[in-house]
Chains A and B, each alone.
Chain A
Amino acid sequence: MADFFIWNFGFTEKSAANPTVAVMILFSVILTALGVYDHIAQWAGAGTAVPVTGFANSMASAAMEHRSEGYVLGVGGNMFKLAGSVIVFGVFSAFVVALIRTVLTMLGGV
């Protein structure tokens, strides 16, 4: 996929990552909407759950599931039902790592 963007659109190896991820997310959401993603996940396992596709799937599936409860409380309120904890702990662990790094540089600086 990254090669496709490098060859056709003149991306570098580094900058090709962005459109690649965007396309993977799009595929994941489309497959979720078609009702195929959960079957692939049962077969493929953690490979579909961990990366960005799994994140997109968890949001899209929750949004679809709770559509019947309305757009604000249903879709809006439940979209991050599964993905929310990823964000909370992702942000929190980034904060902790940044804190450790800052403290270490300060100590090293002194």
Chain B
Amino acid sequence: MQQGNQSWVFPNRPTIISTGTVGGPFEAKGPLAEDFDLLHGDLWLGQNSYEKAERKMMEEACETAVQKAGLQKKDVQFFLSGDLLNQIISSSFTARTLSVPYLGLFGACSTSMEGLALGGLIVDCRFGDNLICGTVSHNSAAEKQFRYPTEYGSQKPDTAQWTVTGAGAAIVSSKGQGPQITSATIGRIIDMGLSDPFNMGGAMAPAAVDTITAHFRDLELSHEEYDLIATGDLGRVGHNISLDLFKKHSLTIPEEKYTDCGLLIYGENHPMVFAGGSGCGCSATVTYGHILNRMKQGELRKVLIVATGALLSPISYQQKESIPCIAHAVALEYHLEG
């Protein structure tokens, strides 16, 4: 049911009955390593290309999620997924392996919540009972796609971010136990004219602020409704910009309640990752792993995940275009049994 300009409320409460998260070697050394279902010690995952490795992670995340839910592949009706590679090949090739009806999405790093919002919508409307929403990114595959060869010695500025090697998949179901999807806010494209691909956090921050503001306005809520508001991959730079923007819009969000998946995944001030993590896999693995685990432990009851995406291509920025950005928000709620 639509509420306000751009939000959906799900009265039937679609439920995330299980999730699968896969991480790479660098994520395995991070503070959230324990929240992953599967960690790999090798960036190649035994494959002969990074693209194949990315695909493998996506397949493993889906398989883990299906297994943990106690389901079989044939019980899943739809597969909604996207990634960062050209023509979203990782998702499409995973769909080939799963042989489940498939809808391919592209929202750059916002794909995780774009998929979850759409998945929630499908299940809420009873157009499907079990479906998988997933997304994946691979550091080296993304570097190759968007920047320079991985071993090329270019110097990156401090505003740059580190693409997460990881895949996250969630099974959204019409029944079962788990965190429920209560509402979603679909973002508008916000382009403030920034064109530096090494400062995507800064470019995406206004989009995150716009979506959060819209969410509160549409649903007539304030930050008090949520125990945690997490943005997707703004990094340190974008996180601080968004805090300033909230002040400007006179929207109060206490800093201890407001975090960013890109800051959580590697811990703050890690020299290798510059401003923080980014990529499709960032918000997906942190949300489906760390944040849902904290919800299940009873630490958090209601959270708002705002996945942010920079919708640029290597060609668009070489042609000096600015970066259009988007953010999608999904609200999750968990009731402990009994």
Contacts and interface: CB of A to CB of B under 8 A. Distances in A.
A35 interface: yes
B144 interface: yes
Interface string A30-44: 001101011011100
Nearest to A42: B155
A60 B149 CA distance: 9
Given A61-B148, A82-B148, A48 B153 contact: yes
Contacts of B150: 38, 61, 64-65
A57 B155 contact: no
Contacts of A42: 153, 155-156
B268 interface: no
Given A68-B48, A68-B49, A68-B51, A62 B153 contact: no
A50 to B, nearest CB: 11
B149 A62 contact: yes
Interface in B21-59: 48-51
B151 interface: yes
Contacts, number: 56
A40 B152 contact: no
A40 B49 CA distance: 25
A86 B153 CA distance: 16
A107 interface: no
A68 B149 CA distance: 13
Interface in B122-173: 144, 148-156
Interface residues of B, number: 14
A61 B151 contact: yes
B151 A35 contact: yes
Contact of B155 (A33, A45, A61): A45
Give the interface size bracket for A toward B.
Answer: 20 to 34
A65 B149 contact: yes
A58 B154 CA distance: 9
Interface string A61-92: 11011101000000000000110000000000
B49 A60 contact: no
A48 B155 CA distance: 10
Contact of B153 (A33, A37, A68): A37
A96 interface: no
Contacts of A48: 153
A40 B149 contact: no
B48 A54 contact: no
A110 interface: no
Contacts of A82: 148-149, 152
A57 B152 CA distance: 6
Given A65-B144, A68-B48, A32 B151 contact: yes
A106 interface: no
Contacts of A40: 153
Contact of B154 (A33, A35, A41, A66): A41
Contact of B151 (A45, A49, A60, A68): A60
A71 B284 CA distance: 35
A54 B156 CA distance: 15
A96 B97 CA distance: 57
Contacts of A32: 151, 153
A49 B149 contact: no
Nearest to B155: A45
Contacts of B148: 61, 82
B155 A49 contact: yes
Given A68-B48, A68-B49, A37 B151 contact: yes
B151 A38 contact: yes
B144 A46 contact: no
A49 B49 CA distance: 27
A64 B153 contact: no
8 contacts: A37-B151, A37-B153, A38-B153, A40-B153, A46-B155, A57-B151, A61-B150, A64-B151
